[in-house]
Structure 1
Amino acid sequence: MSFINKKLKIYAVAVLGSGIFMACAQTKTATAAKTSTEKSTSGKVVPTNLKWSERMMLSEMQRFPEAWMLDFSKSPKWTYPSAIVLDGAEQLYIKTGKKEYYEYISGFGEKLIKEDGTILTYDLDKYNIDMLNSGNVLLYLYEKEKKEKYLKALQTLRLQIDGQPRTNEGSFWHKKIYPYQVWLDGLYMGMPFYTHYTKDFIKGADATKAYDDIVMQFDSVQKNLLDKKTGLLYHAWDESKEQAWADKQTGLSPNFWGRAMGWYGMAMVDVLDYLPENHPGRARIISYIKSYSDAIIKYQDKKSGLWYQVLDKPLANGNYEEATASAMFVYTMIKSVNKGYLPKSYKAAAKKGYDGIIKNLITVDENGVVNLNKCCAVAGLGGKPYRDGSYEYYVNEEIRSNDGKGTGPFILASLEFEK
């Protein structure tokens, strides 16, 4: 290589190096500018002068910089808790117009849906009703962006509804691996998506048939899972009565788990957003919300305003005031009052619960980041190792902070109170 060529090569490397240095310096400056903007209003990462809805949403975005990370996911996977928090982000974007909320939602769709419409980690053949819930995010993104990949993914999820196994009277099994089992959780996981999809894409007699099917899911749950004495609903029902957790006479699981009831309440109020005003089933679902609310108010702690992990055994050893159920009950009632499904008198119980969450379950870090504590991480029935639905089982499941199944409903409840 000639002396001149060597000099040119050294010069090129130097220029390239300085370019990389400049780019890095600009990136750092941009990041620093963003951080200083974030902190400018109150000197905090999450400004304390915002409403609770935004404070919790920004805290979630701080903890989980990408939406697929919500609920402590280590790698992108198609799961349900993200969708609840992103429902809050969607409403905050509408309310504030702040682009970071939309970008957070949009990033979830970009990461989880491949260009051909394939959903990352999703397996249709499992017929797991939990997997329908994040379809709500795609309904929103498709409405906004009209990307073909979102439409294809939505059509795949809708195919699951067509093939989902059912009980003899037509209730969806919770999963293919849980034959003949109806869980309260499943109403929230499947029905708002089913109703919203029907409203957006199905017309005429097919839509009527779908709406009738959706209402029937609630009618069936009221018939088979309701305890007439307390007004509460059991976590699950096994039509075959074969499960070790199932009562041999009734097929019911043995306890009233707080979050299962929470899922059911949110399912009812969210389905009504999309069920036609003139559908005869609306009045029935509204009547179910009323009897449901009357029942949970009876089991609300008089002092704290909160609800327990196992609803009807507040004094039993190991029971505790649980955040996710409390947030879900508050959301269900305050949204029902705002929408006119419940009389205004029910706002008092909702407000007592909401204030109880803030006083007893919320902590704020020095940098302004908000935490929701005492969330039950997970609970179910059957499976391996076997979950027997006993009182001891529910109170010994993992408890953690900032679970999306609590933070999401807290954001949604906050938005309803802020209206």
Structure 2
Amino acid sequence: MDQIEKYIEELMEKSTPDRPIWNIEKIMQGLKSTWNYIDGCMIKAILEMYAITKEDKYLKFADDFIDCKVNVDGTIEGYDVDELNIDNVNAGKTLFELFDLTGKEKYRKAIDLVYSQVAQMPRTKEGNFWHKNIYPNQVWLDGLYMCQPFYMEYETRFHDKKNYDDIFRQFFNVEKNMRDPKTGLYYHAYDSSRAMFWCDKVTGLSQNFWLRALGWFSMALLDTLDKADASAAGESYEKLKQIFVELMDAMLKYQDESGMWYQVVNFGGMDKNYLETSGSSIMAYALLKGVRLGFLPESYRAYGEKAFHGICDQYLSTDENGNLHLDGICLVAGLGGANRRPGTYDYYMSEPVVKDDAKGVGPFLLAYTEMLRLKK
């Protein structure tokens, strides 16, 4: 366990807000890191480390990192509301915590700025936010995680819960349109217009069950429930909880004996398929936190612990200089776009597998904080 904290410290020491060592995409592009969901994942996890350990170094790092991106008037460096990219909402979650912990008024203003994007996101005919303005009529599982917990926290804290129904309805639409009744798993994406080359022209669905997308959706359900006022949400809260529990049950059927899950979940053992770190870390977190919040039976804790230890055994290793690395992380996966990503099995196998990227390290650290809570 101490080893993991040493690893996180090393990543923090080697990172600046402009060039965090965990943002492999930006490093590969040779670009400065501005406001993005990847750093948001990592800073959220570091804030969780502060919440559980109360060690100032975590709060100081997170505050310094976000502080230099947020201007006094609440505008954010590198963030443009008009881009209407749902990924950019994710880092906004850190602002609630930092506002509470530091009292900096600019964080409160920045929260309102991010919320202004939520208020103007274009929607599918069913009422769900588009994933991005450049991906019209498309709902991706990832997007539920990027936006809905932020949306729920804002509504609960600052908006008299006026849009609770909207939040719940977006999840219920996903369950209705994107869940496969045979496996209980969810397809990566849905095109409400049926226009994209990657979708089934009858159902609008992409072809496969991608692990990290299922993970993001699991966390979206869990973290949105966590930020909701259950008494105000009534039956919708119970229904959302049921969707979460059913998804955990579906995922457990595909848990490998190693404790991990495969990149394309239902094709374990198929050629090129591999045990993937980021999605497995998210599942470890979801199972452990789900038990802690009382959404899952106590017996499910063992599955979460098995997942966490499986990742450590499989992919946490030391290099010749004694530095720890977390490997087995799918760098990125999506649909359409400039590369015309088709969402086939071979496509998911073709994306780079990297070490130490925040899309794996952030969820791994979140799972680790749940392991620490167990010890307490």
TM-score normalised over the length of structure 1: 0.84
RMSD: 1.6
Q: Compare 65-74 and 265-274 and name the one that shifted more.
A: 65-74
Q: Compare 136-145 and 213-222 and name the one that shifted more.
A: 136-145
1:407-418 correspondence to structure 2 within 5 Å: 407-418=361-372
Mapped to 1, the partners of 2:73 and 2:179 lie a distance apart of 43
Task: State the one-letter code of the partner of 1:256.
Answer: F
Q: CA deviation at 1:384?
A: 0.3
Deviations 1:360-391 (A, max 9, x none): 11113466543110100001111001111111
Contact 1:55 1:369 in 2 (8 A): no
**2:118 aligned with 1:165:** no
Give the structure 2 partner of residue 220 of structure 1.
Answer: 173
Q: CA deviation at 1:66?
A: 4.0
Mapped to 1, the partners of 2:342 and 2:141 lie a distance apart of 16
Q: CA deviation at 1:172?
A: 0.8
**2:345 aligned with 1:370:** no
Give the structure 2 partner of residue 190 of structure 1.
Answer: 147
Give the structure 2 partner of residue 313 of structure 1.
Answer: 267
Give the structure 1 partner of residue 89 of structure 2.
Answer: 132
Give the structure 2 partner of residue 284 of structure 1.
Answer: 239
1:97-176 correspondence to structure 2 within 5 Å: 97-176=54-133
Task: State the one-letter code of the partner of 2:269.
Answer: L
Mapped to 2, the partners of 1:353 and 1:320 lie a distance apart of 15
1:28-107 correspondence to structure 2 within 5 Å: 50=2, 52=4, 54-66=5-17, 69=20, 70-72=22-24, 73=26, 74-107=31-64
Contact 1:68 1:108 in 2 (8 A): no
State which of 335, 339, 346 in structure 2 corresponds to 1:381. 335
Give the structure 2 partner of residue 256 of structure 1.
Answer: 209
Mapped to 1, the partners of 2:150 and 2:19 lie a distance apart of 19
Give the structure 2 partner of residue 36 of structure 1.
Answer: none
Q: Compare 65-74 and 251-260 and name the one that shifted more.
A: 65-74
State the SS of the aligned residue for 1:363: strand
Mapped to 2, the partners of 1:65 and 1:368 lie a distance apart of 22
State the SS of the aligned residue for 1:134: helix
State the SS of the aligned residue for 1:272: helix
Contact 2:291 2:300 in 1 (8 A): yes
Give the structure 2 partner of residue 333 of structure 1.
Answer: 287
State the SS of the aligned residue for 2:237: helix
Q: Compare 88-97 and 173-182 and name the one that shifted more.
A: 88-97
Task: State the one-letter code of the partner of 2:239.
Answer: R
Deviations 1:52-87 (A, max 9, x none): 3x3342132134244861413441311001122222
Give the structure 2 partner of residue 200 of structure 1.
Answer: 157
Contact 1:327 1:357 in 2 (8 A): yes
Q: Compare 184-193 and 77-86 and name the one that shifted more.
A: 77-86
Contact 2:18 2:34 in 1 (8 A): no
Contact 2:50 2:58 in 1 (8 A): yes
Deviations 1:325-354 (A, max 9, x none): 110111111110111100012122212211
Mapped to 1, the partners of 2:282 and 2:189 lie a distance apart of 18
Task: State the one-letter code of the partner of 2:2.
Answer: L
Q: CA deviation at 1:137?
A: 1.3
**2:295 aligned with 1:295:** no
Q: CA deviation at 1:273?
A: 1.7
Mapped to 2, the partners of 1:60 and 1:285 lie a distance apart of 36
Contact 1:336 1:342 in 2 (8 A): yes
Mapped to 1, the partners of 2:213 and 2:33 lie a distance apart of 26
Mapped to 1, the partners of 2:328 and 2:14 lie a distance apart of 17
**2:223 aligned with 1:266:** no
Mapped to 2, the partners of 1:199 and 1:51 lie a distance apart of 38
Task: State the one-letter code of the partner of 1:275.
Answer: A
Task: State the one-letter code of the partner of 1:288.
Answer: I
Task: State the one-letter code of the partner of 2:181.
Answer: K
Deviations 1:233-282 (A, max 9, x none): 00000011000000011000000001000100011111122100212222
Contact 1:308 1:319 in 2 (8 A): yes
Give the structure 2 partner of residue 393 of structure 1.
Answer: 347
Q: Compare 319-328 and 280-289 and name the one that shifted more.
A: 280-289
Unaligned runs of 5+ in 2: none
Q: How many residues align?
A: 365
Contact 1:67 1:107 in 2 (8 A): no
Q: CA deviation at 1:97?
A: 2.5
Deviations 1:174-220 (A, max 9, x none): 011111100000000001111112222112xxx1x311111111111
Mapped to 2, the partners of 1:55 and 1:283 lie a distance apart of 40
Q: CA deviation at 1:94?
A: 2.5
Give runs of ≥4 in structure 1 deviating > 3 Å.
Answer: 65-68, 365-369
Mapped to 2, the partners of 1:234 and 1:139 lie a distance apart of 31
Mapped to 2, the partners of 1:79 and 1:350 lie a distance apart of 28
Q: CA deviation at 1:403?
A: 1.1
The structure whose Rg is larger is 1
